[in-house]
Every structure is written in structure tokens, then in C-alpha cells.
Structure 1
Amino acid sequence: MDFETIRIATLDFVRAHHAWAPLIAGLVAFCESLAVLSLLVPATVILLGMGALLGAGGIPFLPVMVGAGIGAILGDWASYEFGRYYKEGAKRIWPLTRYPEMMETGETFCRRWGAWGIFLGRFIGPARAVVPLIAGIFVVGRIPFQIANVTSGFVWAFVWLAPGAGLFGWMEG
């Protein structure tokens, strides 16, 4: 199954089953935020498409945004705990061994920005996949991590869903 097939099937499902939109948004955001899995799921285009469905299809924005935010928060939290548990050994686990330059970039990013890196990393493509994992490896404190994780999760969900929802709402109005 290729990315386009996944995108089309997901958006068709949401279009047909509006009540499932918050859960689907949460699952997509979870996959986007979980280390490595984010490289395999076309979540960004799905969330942008879901935003357009929100604006065009009468699906309420807030529940879908909250679902996406919670999914993103849980994905980053799982990545963080994975890194915290395995420490440096996480870098030697497949498929992370296939992306040493991405791990190095994420490490440099984390060292430079500290806890702010968690917030900022969610919005930067290559960093998004590994920053929470690296934060766990370097044992960034759980409270600073979670503050950055929760705030960025909801902001991120808004940023990806609002353009489509707002554009279609504006065009209809």
C-alpha cells in the first residue's frame, strides 16, 4: 500500500463517517509523532486533507483538533519513554541504525534548544521524528518535556487542521 492509497482511503473514511474523525485524527497524529513510524505514514497530507473536510463537510473543528493533539502528545510521550528506557542503546536499534545522520541532527538540535527543542522540533520535519526520543535518551526532565509536549501538541494540531477548515469556511461564507 503506497502513501497515496493510504491518504485517499483515510480521507474517504472520514468523509463517510464524520463521528470517527476525532479518533482518526488522533491515530494519524500518533503515527506522525511516534519515532520512526512518522517516516512511514503520510500524516501531514492526511491532516491537511482532514482540515479541508472539516471546512467543507460540517465536521466540528474542536473535537478533531483535540483528537489530533492528544494523538501527537501520546506519540511523542511514547518516543520519549522509549529513549529514556533504552538510553544510548536506542540508537543501535533497527530502524534507527539506518538514519544516523537524522539522529545526529536531532541530537544537535536537542543540545542547542533544550526543553524548547521539544516544542520547536514538532514543527521541523526531520527533527520531528527523533527529538522526543533523543530527549528521553538525554533524560530531559519529565515535567519540562511534558509541558513542551502538551503545549506543542495542541498548537501543532491547530496549525495542520485550521488552514483547510478556515479556507473552506471562508470560501463558503
Structure 2
Amino acid sequence: MDFETLRTTVLDFLRDHQAWAPAVTGIIAFCESLAVLSLLVPATVILLGIGALIGAGGLPFWPVMLGAALGAILGDWLSYEIGRYFQEGTKRIWPLTRYPGMVEKGEAFCRRWGAWGIFLGRFVGPARAVVPLVAGVAALPRLPFQVANLTSAFVWAFVWLAPGAGLLGVLRPS
């Protein structure tokens, strides 16, 4: 299945089964945030499409945004814990062995920015796939990691969903 077919299938499913939107959006955000898996799932275009479904009036913004944020939090958290558990061994796992430059950039990013790197890394395409994993390898303390993870996930979910949903319409009380 190619990326376009996957995107279309997910959006068609959500159009027909709106009650599943928060859970499906959470799964997509989890896939987008989990190291390695994020390289295989076209989550960005799907999230923008979900934002457009929200804007068309088919889906409620806040539950879908909450689902996206929770999925992103869990994906980064698991990536971080994998990095802490396997330490330097993570660099010997496929596909990281194929992208040593990406891992090096992620390490430099974490060393330079610390916990802020977790927050910023969520918004930088290629870094998003490895920064939490590398933060775990670097043994960034859990509390600063989780604070950055939680706050950035909510901002990230809002940023990706709000444009299609009509940003100003989302901020007005119903």
C-alpha cells in the first residue's frame, strides 16, 4: 500500500466513523512519534487531512487534538525508554544503521539543547524520528524529558490540526 492510498483510506474511514477519530488520530500521532516507525508512516499529511475534516464540520477539534497529543506523548516516551534501555546498542538497530548521519545530528541536537531539544525536535521533521531515542541514549533525566514531551505534544497537535480546522474557529467558544 502506498502513502496516498493509506492517507485516503484513513480519511475515508474517519469520514464514515467519526467516533473513532480521537483514537485513530492518537494511533497516527503515536506512529509519527515512535522512533523508526515514524519513517514509514505518512502521518503529517494524514494529520493535515484530519484537520481539514475538522474544518468541514465532521469532527470535533478538542477530542481529536487530545488524541493526537496523547499518541505523540506515548510515542516519544517509548522511544526515550528504548534509548535508555539499549543505550549505544540502539545505533546498531535497523534502520538507524542506514542513517548514521541522522543519529549524529540527533545527538548533537540533544547535547546542544538538552530538554529544550525535545520540545524543538518535535517540530523538526528528520529530528522528530530520533531525538527522543537519542535523549534516552544520552540519559537525559526523565523529568525534564517528560515535561518537554508533554508540553510539546499539545503544541504540536494544535499546530498540525488547527490550520485545516480553521484556527480562529477553534479558539472561539461553542
Q: TM-score, normalised by structure 1?
A: 0.95
- 2: CA distance between counterparts of 1:157 and 1:70? 9
**What is the aligned partner in structure 2 of residue 16 from structure 1?**
16
1:62 matches 2:35: no
- 1: CA distance between counterparts of 2:109 and 2:32? 19
Q: CA deviation at 1:7?
A: 0.3
Letter in 2 for 1:66: L
Deviation per CA, 1:36-91: give whole Å up to 9, x if none. 11110000000000000001033110000000000000000000000000001110
Q: Please give the secondary structure, in 2, of the residue aligned with 1:19.
A: helix
1:98 matches 2:98: yes
Pairs within 5 Å for 1:119-158: 119-158=119-158
**What is the aligned partner in structure 2 of residue 26 from structure 1?**
26
- 1: CA distance between counterparts of 2:151 and 2:135? 16
Is contact 2:15-2:58 (8 Å) kept?
A: no
Unaligned residue ranges in structure 2 (runs of 5+)? none
**What is the aligned partner in structure 2 of residue 107 from structure 1?**
107
**What is the aligned partner in structure 2 of residue 87 from structure 1?**
87
Q: Please give the secondary structure, in 2, of the residue aligned with 1:57.
A: coil
- 2: CA distance between counterparts of 1:104 and 1:167? 36
Letter in 2 for 1:89: G
Q: Structure 1: which 4+ aligned runs deviate by more than 2 Å?
A: 167-170
Q: CA deviation at 1:168?
A: 10
- 1: CA distance between counterparts of 2:117 and 2:69? 18
Is contact 1:76-1:149 (8 Å) kept?
A: yes
Q: CA deviation at 1:94?
A: 1.4
- 1: CA distance between counterparts of 2:28 and 2:148? 20
1:161 matches 2:161: yes
Task: Report how many residues are paired.
Answer: 170
Q: TM-score, normalised by structure 2?
A: 0.95
Unaligned residue ranges in structure 1 (runs of 5+)? none
| Identity rate, percent | 76
- 1: CA distance between counterparts of 2:65 and 2:89? 35
Letter in 1 for 2:91: K
- Comparing 54-63 with 30-39, greater Cα deviation is found at 54-63
Is contact 1:52-1:168 (8 Å) kept?
A: no
